[in-house]
């Protein structure tokens, strides 16, 4: 067994590998860019080696420097994690040549499966179901249109070396095929250095279901059940679960056996994933094989009780698998939510910056455990006060729960999301909460088009309605009373005789967009010490009374307690938003900003005029923090609606800004290469 391994990655996956290595008594070496010098994975490792500047092409993608770090520290093996060099055939081969064990498949397996065209041919030879399509590289866009028409729309245009949603488009007509081919080719060339494109039939109403396989160097291969990964946005997974709520035992067995056959055909060693697209009648077709550990591997770990990173390390060290197919468990139900630094209310634009507050929900399951226990697990590479840099992907953490069944897992996940506190950057937690509450998701009736279908016009606050909005208002009153009583107690200590009397009557002013506020009277009943506080709200539907017992300490961002005897977890924030008097309440993805007022003050507040924000319609603003890589216009230029104005790069994705109306450019306010902040002006129109 190895005594020291190097993790050629960053973030949560580097921390994940370190956890297992520590459990196995193996020393670890971290590598880092300048942007990650204080990162969590650097702090956790036994040693750390600097690679270079923040851009990955100048740090994490430098194979020579990683090999050099192994030699410098005496690391006997490299775990590549996922992304970066994890599926780089040349890197795996180089490690072998240098006498460094690659904790992953052999270079020949990566080569065979990393090329989507070659892998499809191999799958056919191994008698694995494949999708009809054109499997040779396509020379140009016109040829792509001709091929697409021959296959029949819709078609999927894919980069041979693509992954992570890059180099992939779905086309429903000639125009989309022409544009999609060019876009895929550009993305693939920039991201992977390989612009070969192929086309295949797009299976309508498809589900994305993948089989986890594990092989050793002695010819043994098993499958570890499946993962349902159909909840995707722009071909990137959002929620994953195991097992799938859709497929039958017979389909599971057939898919698993085909995945094993394909793995054996390429003499696969280590953990890998065979991805399938599954039609509405459970007909399934091979998509690709990911020759690495998947982001969503924890859901498989929780239903099988296996530590996949440990298995990878043992296989790389030459050990045989200690179990066979009949020994693989499938217990309970696991769900994973990817918590990303992005703003769902601004079309999921990246959100970078400092984590002013980062408090994950309490966990009782941990990385590196080999268990099928029930509970909550958090995989993350960040810490409270840490930085979310713009150079890498947007994932902050993975939140994983394991329940007795699917309904139990959904309930556990919703409660865990309620307790996940992130301040300083925006996150997709409200969107995750909306997905988990959607009736179609709860029933298991969805496919890969679920998000595009139900959130076709983006995600809005009204897409995550609360089943009891008055409860949020009652919580706002309770928090207001907490701070008022604290102030009253302090005042009584210093100015005897001036202590405030308890107030019973309030008005909750819920702050709406554009000054559209609503006002609800609230009455607080007399409460005996140690008993729940009774708060009655005069809602339009009639009075609602809430018996609230809240465990709250000064400075808490997350609170728990009971409402009418039922437990809950919520988030409370004082002075949130643009109003310093506002109280923010967040529960089940819904956010309420409110001011709790004296009834007379509320009447005066209704008379306050609304101050509209300045008119910025003549400006093109940066919708996110990022690097301005192109300004496509110049002063005096006439621009038509829909024309490209600028391109911003953030978190490995290019975002193109277009003119919303015809106009003439008055001035360019930002220069190419400049780091932009949110809402910074880029171009001004006359």
pLDDT tens digits along 337-375 = 999 999 999 889 888 889 999 999 999 999 999 999 999
For the chain, the first-to-last Cα distance in angstroms comes to 69
Q: By C-alpha distance, which of 321, 367, 331, 362 is closest to 81?
A: 367
Residues 156/161/167/173 CA torsion (nearest 10 deg): -20
Q: Is 35 helix (H, G, I), strand (E, B) or coil?
A: helix
pLDDT given at position 202: 86
pLDDT given at position 461: 86
Q: What is the pLDDT of residues 268-324, one digit of tens each?
A: 999 999 999 999 889 999 999 999 999 999 999 999 999 999 999 999 999 999 999
In the predicted model, what is the mean pLDDT of residues 23-47?
97
Q: By C-alpha distance, which of 103, 313, 334, 371 is closest to 225?
A: 334
Q: Is 97 helix (H, G, I), strand (E, B) or coil?
A: helix
Q: Which of 159-168, 237-246, 470-479, 529-538 has the lowest mean pLDDT?
A: 159-168
Give the list of residues 6+ apart from residue 605 with CB closer than 8 angstroms, or none. 509, 517, 595, 597
pLDDT given at position 486: 78
C-alpha to C-alpha distance for 117 and 134, rounded to whole angstroms: 9
pLDDT given at position 585: 96
Q: By C-alpha distance, which of 221, 210, 198 is closest to 290?
A: 210
pLDDT given at position 164: 62
In the predicted model, what is the mean pLDDT of residues 603-620?
89
Q: By C-alpha distance, which of 17, 14, 60 is closest to 40?
A: 14
pLDDT given at position 31: 98
C-alpha to C-alpha distance for 551 and 575, rounded to whole angstroms: 20
Q: What is the pLDDT of residues 451-462, one digit of tens each?
A: 999 999 899 988
Quick one: pLDDT band at residue 501, thresholds 50, 70, 90? low
* Helix 429-437, helix 406-418: angle, nearest 10: 150
Beta strands 590-597 and 505-510, pairing class: antiparallel
Question: Is 492 a residue whose pLDDT tops 60?
Answer: no
Answer for the pair 546, 474: CB distance below 8 angstroms, yes or no: yes
Q: Is 587 helix (H, G, I), strand (E, B) or coil?
A: strand
Question: Is 187 a residue whose pLDDT tops 70?
Answer: yes
In the predicted model, what is the mean pLDDT of residues 69-80?
98
Give the list of residues 6+ apart from residue 39 with CB closer than 8 angstroms, or none. 10, 11, 32, 381, 382, 386
Q: By C-alpha distance, which of 309, 301, 308, 293 is closest to 331?
A: 301
Q: By C-alpha distance, which of 666, 659, 620, 618 is closest to 640?
A: 659
In the predicted model, what is the mean pLDDT of residues 225-240?
95
C-alpha to C-alpha distance for 136 and 121, rounded to whole angstroms: 10
Question: Is 419 a residue whose pLDDT tops 60?
Answer: yes
Question: Is 156 a residue whose pLDDT tops 70?
Answer: yes
Q: Backbone phi, then psi, for 417, in 5-degree steps? A: -65, -35
Question: Is 493 a residue whose pLDDT tops 60?
Answer: no
Give the list of residues 6+ apart from residue 40 with CB closer than 8 angstroms, or none. 15, 380, 381, 382, 383, 386
Q: Give the predicted TM-score (pTM) of the model.
A: 0.86
pLDDT given at position 29: 98
Task: State which H helix or E strand residue 333 sits in.
Answer: strand 333-340
DSSP 3-state percent helix, strand, coil across the chain (nearest 5): 30, 30, 40
C-alpha to C-alpha distance for 663 and 280, rounded to whole angstroms: 48
pLDDT given at position 517: 94
Q: Could you tell me the CA-to-CA distances from 318 to 27, 102, 311 in Å, in that order?
A: 19, 11, 11
Q: Backbone phi, then psi, for 318, in 5-degree steps? A: 95, 5
pLDDT given at position 654: 78
pLDDT given at position 200: 87
Q: Which of 10-14, 506-510, 637-641 has the lowest mean pLDDT?
A: 637-641
C-alpha to C-alpha distance for 131 and 165, rounded to whole angstroms: 19
pLDDT given at position 364: 97
pLDDT given at position 194: 85
In the predicted model, what is the mean pLDDT of residues 114-130?
88
The residue annotated as part of the active site, out of 87, 200, 275, 288, is 288
Of residues 264 and 193, the one with the higher pLDDT is 264
Q: Is 515 helix (H, G, I), strand (E, B) or coil?
A: helix
C-alpha to C-alpha distance for 65 and 49, rounded to whole angstroms: 9
Question: Is 641 a residue whose pLDDT tops 60?
Answer: yes
Give the list of residues 6+ apart from residue 493 with CB closer than 8 angstroms, or none. none
In the predicted model, what is the mean pLDDT of residues 646-665?
86
Quick one: pLDDT band at residue 133, thresholds 50, 70, 90? confident
Question: Is 496 a residue whose pLDDT tops 60?
Answer: no
Scored b (16 or more CB within 10 A) or e, 325-350 reads eeebebebbbbbbbbbbbbbbeebbb
Q: What is the pLDDT of residues 534-555, one digit of tens each?
A: 999 998 878 999 999 998 888 8
Q: Backbone phi, then psi, for 260, in 5-degree steps? A: -65, -40
Task: State which H helix or E strand residue 6 sits in.
Answer: strand 4-7
Answer for the pair 414, 361: CB distance below 8 angstroms, yes or no: no
pLDDT given at position 167: 81
Quick one: pLDDT band at residue 132, thresholds 50, 70, 90? confident
Answer for the pair 598, 589: CB distance below 8 angstroms, yes or no: no
Q: What percent of the chain has pLDDT over 90?
A: 74
Answer for the pair 207, 277: CB distance below 8 angstroms, yes or no: yes
The pLDDT mean for the chain works out to 92
pLDDT given at position 49: 98
pLDDT given at position 267: 96
C-alpha to C-alpha distance for 526 and 529, rounded to whole angstroms: 10
C-alpha to C-alpha distance for 479 and 414, rounded to whole angstroms: 23
pLDDT given at position 410: 98
* Alpha helix (H) residue ranges in 28-106: 40-44, 63-73, 89-97
In the predicted model, what is the mean pLDDT of residues 490-503?
57
Question: Is 205 a residue whose pLDDT tops 60?
Answer: yes
C-alpha to C-alpha distance for 144 and 652, rounded to whole angstroms: 27
Question: Is 498 a residue whose pLDDT tops 70?
Answer: no
DSSP assigned state of 130: B
Question: Is 571 a residue whose pLDDT tops 70?
Answer: yes
C-alpha to C-alpha distance for 210 and 289, rounded to whole angstroms: 9
Assess whether 288 carries a catalytic annotation.
yes
Give the list of residues 6+ apart from residue 281 with CB closer than 8 angstroms, or none. none
Q: By C-alpha distance, which of 665, 657, 607, 661 is closest to 634?
A: 665
In the predicted model, what is the mean pLDDT of residues 50-65?
96
């Amino acid at each position: 067994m190895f005594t020291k391994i190097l993790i050629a990655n960053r973030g949560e996956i580097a921390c994940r590998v370190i956890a297992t290595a520590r459990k196995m008594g193996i020393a670890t070496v971290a590598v880092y860019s300048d942007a990650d010098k204080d990162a969590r994975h650097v702090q956790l490792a036994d040693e750390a080696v600097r690679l270079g500047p923040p851009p990955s092409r100048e740090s994490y993608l430098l194979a020579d420097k990683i090999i050099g770090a192994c030699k410098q520290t005496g690391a006997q093996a490299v775990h590549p994690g996922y992304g970066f060099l994890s599926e780089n055939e040349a890197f795996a081969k180089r490690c072998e040549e240098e006498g460094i064990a690659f904790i992953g498949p052999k270079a020949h397996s990566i080569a065979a499966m990393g090329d989507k065209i070659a892998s499809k041919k191999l799958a056919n030879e191994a008698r694995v179901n494949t999708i009809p399509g054109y499997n040779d590289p396509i020379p140009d866009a016109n040829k792509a249109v001709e091929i697409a028409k021959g296959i029949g729309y819709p078609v999927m245009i894919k980069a041979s070396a693509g992954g992570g949603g890059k180099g992939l488009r779905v086309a429903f007509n000639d125009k989309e095929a022409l544009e999609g081919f060019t876009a895929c080719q550009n993305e693939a060339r920039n991201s992977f250095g390989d612009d070969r494109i192929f086309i295949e039939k797009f299976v309508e109403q498809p589900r994305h279901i993948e089989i986890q396989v594990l092989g050793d160097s002695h010819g043994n291969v098993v499958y570890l059940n499946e993962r349902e990964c159909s909840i995707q946005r722009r071909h990137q997974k959002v929620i994953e679960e195991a097992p799938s709520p859709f497929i039958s035992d017979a389909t599971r067995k057939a898919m698993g056996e085909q995945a094993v056959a394909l793995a054996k055909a390429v003499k696969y060693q280590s953990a890998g994933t065979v991805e399938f697209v599954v039609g509405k009648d459970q007909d399934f077709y091979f998509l690709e094989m990911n020759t690495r550990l998947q982001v969503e591997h924890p859901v498989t770990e929780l239903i099988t009780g296996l530590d996949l990173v440990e298995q990878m390390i043992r296989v790389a060290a030459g050990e045989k698998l200690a179990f066979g197919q009949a020994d693989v468990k499938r217990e309970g139900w696991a769900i994973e939510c990817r918590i990303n630094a992005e703003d769902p209310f601004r079309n999921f634009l990246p959100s970078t910056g400092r984590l002013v507050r980062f408090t994950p929900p309490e966990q009782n399951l941990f990385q590196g455990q080999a268990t099928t226990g029930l509970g909550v697990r958090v995989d993350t590479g960040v810490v409270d006060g840490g930085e979310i840099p713009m150079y890498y992907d947007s994932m902050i953490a993975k939140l994983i729960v394991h329940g007795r069944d699917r309904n139990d897992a959904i309930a556990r996940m919703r409660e865990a999301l309620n307790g996940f506190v992130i301040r300083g950057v925006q996150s997709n937690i409200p969107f995750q909460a909306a997905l988990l509450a959607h009736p179609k998701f709860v029933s298991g009736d969805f496919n890969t088009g679920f998000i595009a279908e139900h959130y076709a016009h983006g995600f809005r606050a009204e897409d995550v309605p609360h089943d009891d909005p008055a409860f949020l208002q009652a919580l706002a009153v309770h928090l207001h009373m907490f701070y008022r009583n604290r102030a009253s107690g302090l005042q009584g200590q210093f100015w005897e005789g001036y202590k405030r009397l308890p107030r019973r009557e309030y008005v909750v002013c819920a702050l709406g967009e554009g000054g559209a506020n609503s006002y609800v009277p609230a009455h607080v009943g007399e409460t005996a010490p140690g008993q729940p506080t009774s708060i009655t709200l005069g809602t339009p539907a009639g009075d609602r009374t809430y018996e609230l017992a809240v465990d709250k300490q000064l400075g808490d961002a997350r609170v728990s307690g009971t409402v009418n005897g039922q437990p809950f977890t919520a988030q409370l924030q004082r002075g949130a938003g643009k109003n310093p008097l506002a109280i923010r309440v967040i529960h089940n993805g819904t956010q309420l900003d409110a001011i709790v007022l004296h009834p007379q003050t509320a009447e005066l507040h209704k008379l306050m005029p609304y101050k509209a924000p300045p008119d910025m319609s003549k400006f093109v603003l940066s919708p996110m923090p990022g690097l301005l890589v192109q300004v496509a216009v110049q002063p005096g230029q006439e621009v038509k609606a829909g024309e490209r104005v600028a391109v911003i790069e953030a978190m490995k994705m290019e975002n193109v800004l277009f003119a919303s109306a015809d106009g003439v450019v008055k001035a360019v306010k930002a220069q190419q290469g400049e780091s932009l902040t949110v809402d910074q002006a880029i171009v001004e129109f006359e």
